[in-house]
Structure formats: structure tokens, C-alpha cells
Structure 1
Amino acid sequence: MNRRLLPLLALLVAGLLGGLLLYLYLNARPYQETIDHGPSPQARANPYLAAEMFLRQRGLQIHHANGLEVLPTLKPEQHSLLLLGERSNMTPQQVEQLLDWARAGGRLLFVAEALWNKEAGRSGDLLLDRLHLRQFLSKDLKAPPPDAGKEPYPKLTKLYLEDEDAPAYIGFDTDFHLEDPDNLAQSWANSARATHMMQLSYGKGSVTVLTDAEIWKTPLIAKYDNAWLLWYLSADSDVTLLFDTDHDSLWSLLLKYFPQALVALAALLGLWLWHVGVRHGPMQAPTPKARRQLREHLQASAHFLLRRTGQQGLLHALRQDILRRAQHRHPGFERLTAAEQGQVLARLTRQPDSVISQALAPQPTQRLSSADFSRLVTHLQTLRNAL
């Protein structure tokens, strides 16, 4: 390349780079973008994580438990116990322990989880039945009063407080309704046609019943006055939230990540059990081949035919065989009289008349003895073999 062209080429490249930088300077604009990666693993494992964080921000001590085993360690005074999990396996003894805890000054809150059964006279929710409260479907209630349609927010639950002009609005599920047939509740919260929260004084403490606790899960806790209600029910107390958190078991994790190892382990276990298995008694030696003789097969066949056809069948077969052979040796044998047939057989077989008469005699109807049957078969076989 000519050395005089190198400066020109360098100036051309510098010009292109300068133009590109000027274009980027005039047209490029900085911006921010937020990428949503979804909830954190902690939030997926704990549906009430936002509720716990909210209460901690209000200065409350928050604890989490998976079962009622923690109840003996909770002091009732200035303590709120929120039963937010499934309670179908609760025993009557545990129900009494909870109510004794509330009677001693604790604040107990739980979610009604069964509908009232009129025929059975109970709902099956031991805690709800023990407090004489009932839960129904809102659609099964009577029609709402005419002024219900004038409510500004008919699907929201209103909670009125003393010295407050406006109610608090909570987003309960309006499909369920609580009923207090004995008028035990001191306060409650209603939507346009149903009751979704009741609070009862119980000894030195209190019991609060809700139709659902979904209002305190993410993201519903941020709507309406849902978070405020949680703070209002647990203010000035330590709080224990009792619900089950779903964790993968060791078996499910092994099945998910190491299925081949589980198959190999099962195969090894099966081989080990087969190896150490104990036999019940000695092994039976195979039958010697010397016992498998033709005579045994013939005897077995004869016994089989005797059982299937009886004596008369065997005797009839032998007589028919004799008649066929006699007809072959003496054409027209079948047309002879019995006496003539006896004479022909005597001449052909050279057997005495006694043998021939027994062979040609009519078959007996009664069963023969073993000796008589053997003797008759012998005579018949002698005639057949002579023909």
C-alpha cells in the first residue's frame, strides 16, 4: 500500500467514529427499567410474610408457629394468637385448651372453616360449635333489605368504631355469613347482606371469628383497610401466627432430583432380600427318571378311564373290539344268532364255552366287585388276543 494513502485512511476512520459518536450523543436517551422477578422464595413459602412485616413495622413482636404445641409457652396476658391455618384435625382437648387460654386473658382469632348442618345440629368445626356460632353461605340467606342497594360499597365489609364518623372498609369474601343465635357477640362487621366478623368477650380475653383470612395474604393485605384491621385486632400485644408452611419433604426432593439413584437403591434392596431370604423347609428333590415307566403310564390311563366311563364303558369297549375282529375273520358274523356266534368264536379262538359265554353274556346293570370285574376283563382280553 502506498504510504501516502495511510494518512487519508486514518482520517476517514476517525471521521466515521466521530460521526457515530455524534449520532449517539444526539439520539441516545438514558432510561430505567424495572424487571419483576416475582415473589421471593420467602414470600412463596410464607403467604403471610407481608402481614408479619407490616406488624413489625408497627413495633409488635411477631412469632410464627406450625402447630398448637407452642400454646403452653404463650402467656395469655397481652398476647394475640391468630389461627390462620387448617384445623380439621383439632381435638376436643385442644379446643378446651385454646378457650382456657383465651379465658385467662389471651386474644384468640380463628377462621370458621365449616358450614352449619341443620340435620346434624352442628358444623363439624369443633371450635366454632363450642362457641355456639354458625356459618352459612350468603346465597342461602333471605333477600337483603330494600335499602341495601343504596350502600356505596355493598361488597365491602364495614366496621364501625366509637368516636369515628366513617367506617373502616375490609375486603372479606362475601360468599360466607356468620350467625350468632345466642346473641353472644359484642361487635361485628357486615357487608350489604352478610356478617363476616364477630368478636366475643371471653373471660379476661376475647375471641374473634372471621369468615376468611385471605385479606391478610399478599397482595390483598394492601387493599382497602385490610392491613389496618390486622393491626387493630392485635395492637398492644405480642402476636403469634399459627399456620402450616408447605415444605418439600426429603422423599419428594429425592424423587425430584435423584430418581435414578432411588431406582438403583430399590434394585439393590430387592437383590439383598432375595439373597438373605430363608427357605421354609428343604428343597424337594426331583423325581427319579427310573420311575417314569410305560407300565405306570398305562395304569394311570386305565384308572382315568375307569373314573370317567365306569365299568360298563370299559366292558362295552372290549366287546365291540371282539365283534370287529370276529367280523373281520368271519364275514357275516354280525348276522348270526348268539348260539352261532358262540360256535364261531369257539372255533376261531379255541377257548372253552365257559369263557365265550361269559364274554357274550349281557352286561350286568349292577356294579361288579373288583375280583369279578378283573376276571371278566381277563376273559374278554383272552378272546380279543386269540382273534
Structure 2
Amino acid sequence: MNRRIGWSLAALALLLLGGLSLFLYLKARPYQETVDHGPSPAAQANPYLAAEMFLRERGLAVNHAETLAVLPQIDPHSHTLLLFGERARMTPREVDQVLNWTRAGGRLVFVAESLWDAQTGQSNDLLLDKVQLHQSLSKDLKDPPRDVEKDRFPKLTKLYLEDEDAPAYAGFDTDFHLDDPNNVAQAWANSAKATHMMQRVYGLGTITVVTDAELWKTGAIGKYDNAWLLWYLSADTDVTLIYNTSHDGLWTLLWRYFPQAIVALLALIALWLWQAGVRHGPVQIPAPVGRRQLLEHLRASADFLLRHNGQQALLQALQQDILRRARRRHPGFDQLNVAEQWLALSRLTRQPTRAISQALSPRPKQRLSSAEFSRQVAHLQTLRNAL
């Protein structure tokens, strides 16, 4: 009977499992799902990674660097240098180095970083001032804007080329405007309100100044003709992209990568300063304003000498005073050896020689207890008073 029940339960389980499998087979439908894990570490570290990949797909050799230290190794002929990084710490020597490289035949493309100050006659961008171009805010333009009613894309920058019916469109930031007060530029590109790209011949090379390079970062290079414009500026050359011409300081890097350690260190320093500033022992009650007794002055002087000079200095002062009085009482005392001096002091003070030797012998350097120190001082004073 039990075996029959077991077989029945097994058959029932198999029947249920088969039914469930059939139900899942009839109802389940395969589907695909795309999970966006965000930018890769390489894309996060290099905002112009997509631009580099696009130029490589067009057959250009592309390298990137973080500083201008690589410039002496770059042949200016058939080479484009893209300065898209922060240049606030760029030195005059580096500016001259870049311009000399361009004058020798290189192509230079950089971002104008500072606004022109008419009062000082310069901007904070040394490289832009050397090129003799100025940057200002589009809203500050004095000339009235052009007729934009017929412009279908007033916020896009148009670049007109020869033998082309339609312009190329680029997504520059329209808040900034480039000005050419000395008429050194040979080509430019404008939006409806302002100029955002200028190009001039410089020696054997060319210099292209743009108001921003955000249109060539990974998130925007696929829009409009942004990618094509970057290729146009560097076509038929090798490319070196410098997107960080200055390095963060040590404290900035430490705070970026080790904030917990810095906070812990600051907390330890604060605790140490707090502990060092705490008083040891109870706060002493201020003494009354009235005049102190002579005994209080003597006790205070003795405490001061004991704290600053130590026990050995006080004991040695008493010993020297005893020997000085002994010289006055016993002529030729200095010519006696130590044992004979102790015998002479024993006769003068009527103290046993053993007590005198204990009082005048050099003391060990370790600190005496208060009782032992008081006993030693009392003994020396007894000898001194007997002289």
C-alpha cells in the first residue's frame, strides 16, 4: 500500500512538472533588453575620445598628450595641434614655443579662453593676445545684429566654402564673439549674431581660433556638421590633441583621491591641539590683591628656581656656599685633598665625617623624592650655618 502511494505521488509530481513546463513554453516569449552602463572608463578620462576615433576612421594618425612637453618632438610640417585644454597656467615661454612651431609650418587650433579688457589693453589669454584677436560677449556687441528673419538656423555657426551651395553648420556656443581689430584673419564662421571661428596665416602655418570646443566632445560631436568641421581643420595631417596643459596641485589630487585620510588627519591635528591646550591640574585660585608677606616671596622664588634650574642646581649652590665659607675659616683649605677637607669641615662644624661626605658628594642625576630633597637641603643648611 505504501509503495502504491509513493508511485502515485511521483506520477502526480511528474504530471505537475510537465504541465508547468508546457505552460511556460506556450507563454514565455524571448526579448532583448539593452542595459546602459554609462560611458566607459576611457571615455570618462578623455572627453575627446569620440573625436579621436572619428579622425582615425578618416585615416588620420591621432595622438593625445597632457602637456606641451611633447611639442619639440612633433614635426610641424603636415601636423595639426589641437589645444583644447585649460591654458590658465601657460607661460610666455610656452606661448612663444607654440607660435614658433606654427610659424615653421604647423596647423594650430585653440580655444579663446579670456575676454578682452579694453581698459588694460589685454586679456588673460597670452596666446590669444599674441594672435591679435579679441573675444567678447555677444550681448555686448555695439553694432546692430544682422537681419535674422531669413536665417533658418540663427544659433548655428555657418561656414561657407567655395564651390558649395550650402554652408556647413556647427554648434558653437553663441554667447561669445571673436573680433579682428587688425584685419589679420583670412577666414571666419558666423552665427546670426556673432563670429565663433577665425583663421589666419601665421608664417608657413595657420592658426584657427574658436570660441569653444564643447561641440567636439563626446556628447556633441555627432550633432550637425561638428565632426566634419574638426576633420576639415586637420585634413591630410597627423593630429596631436592636448586637452590638459596644466596639472592639478598636490593638495587638489590628495583631496580628490584621499578625502577620508585628509579628514582623519585634520581631526587628529585638532584633537592634538585641543589636548595640548588643556591645563593640567585644577585652576589655581587668584591670590588676593593685598601685599604678600616676605615668606611668601621667598617661597615663590624658591619654587621658581626649583622649576627652572632643577634640584641639582640648588644642591650645588649650597655645596659651593659651604666650601666658600670653609675657605674663609680655614686658611689653605683649597690645598687639601678631599678627605682632608672633610676632616677640616668635621672639626669646624662638629659633624661626623660620614655626614659631611654624604652632603658634599656629587648626587646622581635622577630626580630625588620631595622628602629626600628636603632632607638633603636641611643637612646642607645645618653645615652652612655651623660655619
Classify the TM-score, shorter chain. Answer: 0.5 to 0.7
1:150 aligns to what SS in structure 2? coil
**What CA distance in whole angstroms lies between the structure 2 residues aligned with 1:86 and 1:247?**
11
**What CA distance in whole angstroms lies between the structure 1 residues aligned with 2:297 and 2:267?**
54
TM-score between both structures, scaled by the size of structure 1: 0.65
Distance 1:82 1:27, change over 3 A: same
2:15 aligns to what SS in structure 1? helix
Deviation track 1:298-348 (CA, whole Å, cap 9, x = no partner) reads 899xxxxxxxxxxxxxxxxxxxxxxxxxxxxxxxxxxxxxxxxxxxxxxxx
TM-fit CA distance, 1:14: 1.8
Alignment of structure 1 residues 1-387 onto 2, 5 Å:
2-141=2-141, 142-146=143-147, 148-244=148-244, 251-252=254-255, 255-256=258-259, 295-297=294-296
Aligned residue type for 1:37: H
| Greater alpha carbon shift after TM alignment, 229-238 vs 248-257 | 248-257
Aligned partners of 1:78 and 1:237 also within 8 Å? yes
Distance 1:50 1:254, change over 3 A: closer
Distance 1:214 1:253, change over 3 A: closer
Distance 1:37 1:63, change over 3 A: same
TM-fit CA distance, 1:15: 1.7
**What CA distance in whole angstroms lies between the structure 2 residues aligned with 1:201 and 1:9?**
92
TM-fit CA distance, 1:294: 5.1
TM-fit CA distance, 1:96: 2.0
Aligned residue type for 1:110: F
2:189 aligns to what SS in structure 1? strand
**What CA distance in whole angstroms lies between the structure 1 residues aligned with 2:171 and 2:115?**
21
2:51 aligns to what SS in structure 1? helix
**What CA distance in whole angstroms lies between the structure 2 residues aligned with 1:253 and 1:173?**
30
**What CA distance in whole angstroms lies between the structure 1 residues aligned with 2:239 and 2:115?**
28
Distance 1:299 1:41, change over 3 A: closer
TM-fit CA distance, 1:124: 2.3
**What CA distance in whole angstroms lies between the structure 1 residues aligned with 2:152 and 2:44?**
35
**What CA distance in whole angstroms lies between the structure 2 residues aligned with 1:253 and 1:118?**
38
TM-fit CA distance, 1:190: 0.7
Distance 1:42 1:149, change over 3 A: same
Aligned length: 276
Aligned partners of 2:255 and 2:262 also within 8 Å? no
Runs of 5+ unmatched residues, structure 2: 274-291, 300-387
Distance 1:33 1:252, change over 3 A: same
Aligned partners of 1:255 and 1:262 also within 8 Å? no
Deviation track 1:5-55 (CA, whole Å, cap 9, x = no partner) reads 333322221221111111111110011111111111111111111111111
1:26 aligns to what SS in structure 2? helix
**What CA distance in whole angstroms lies between the structure 2 residues aligned with 1:109 and 1:253?**
31
Distance 1:98 1:259, change over 3 A: closer
Deviation track 1:168-198 (CA, whole Å, cap 9, x = no partner) reads 1111011001011122111111111111001
Deviation track 1:102-154 (CA, whole Å, cap 9, x = no partner) reads 111000111001111111122221111112111111111233223x1221111
**What CA distance in whole angstroms lies between the structure 2 residues aligned with 1:262 and 1:33?**
47
Distance 1:94 1:4, change over 3 A: closer
In structure 1, what is the equivalent of residue 342 of structure 2?
none
**What CA distance in whole angstroms lies between the structure 1 residues aligned with 2:297 and 2:249?**
70
Aligned partners of 2:187 and 2:198 also within 8 Å? yes
**What CA distance in whole angstroms lies between the structure 1 residues aligned with 2:41 and 2:33?**
23
**What CA distance in whole angstroms lies between the structure 2 residues aligned with 1:45 and 1:295?**
79
Calculate percent identity across the aligned residue pairs.
62
Aligned residue type for 2:254: W
TM-fit CA distance, 1:257: 6.5
TM-fit CA distance, 1:297: 4.4
**What CA distance in whole angstroms lies between the structure 2 residues aligned with 1:132 and 1:199?**
12
TM-fit CA distance, 1:248: 10
Aligned residue type for 1:255: F
Runs of 5+ unmatched residues, structure 1: 271-292, 301-387
Deviation track 1:270-320 (CA, whole Å, cap 9, x = no partner) reads 9xxxxxxxxxxxxxxxxxxxxxx95444899xxxxxxxxxxxxxxxxxxxx
Aligned residue type for 1:227: A
Deviation track 1:216-254 (CA, whole Å, cap 9, x = no partner) reads 111101111111111111111111111228789673477
Aligned partners of 1:157 and 1:170 also within 8 Å? yes
**What CA distance in whole angstroms lies between the structure 2 residues aligned with 1:203 and 1:92?**
19
2:113 aligns to what SS in structure 1? coil
